[in-house]
Amino acid sequence: MLAKFIYDMINYDSIDNDKKQILKNQLIKNTTSLGGKNHFLPLIEDLKRSHPNLLIAKEASLRSDKSLIKWKIVNYKDKINLLLNTIIRNELKN
């Protein structure tokens, strides 16, 4: 489901208005579950500014004004790319 969401967001202009509304509602629901748009958008900006990429950093944690996110598993870029490509191919077949 996540891969399809990402695929649709990348190809946003090519989808119909009903699908756009579904994506909007899903994004609002997810944003609300993370503290609302005033918390979610700065969190995304912090993720974008982080170097090295936090998903593949050795000691991964993200601090923002209102949150702290940590994880213990080190992810490798080639494994992440392989996983995302596999998920997208699988969801496009279904």
- Residue 66 has a pLDDT of 72
**Mean pLDDT, range 33-58, rounded to an integer:** 75
Which of the two residues, 91 and 53, has the higher pLDDT score?
Answer: 91
pLDDT-based confidence at residue 52 (cuts at 50, 70, 90): low
Residue 5 has pLDDT above 70, yes or no: no
CA-angle at 6, arms to 4 and 64, nearest 5°: 140
Helix, strand or coil, per DSSP, at residue 76: coil
- pTM score: 0.49
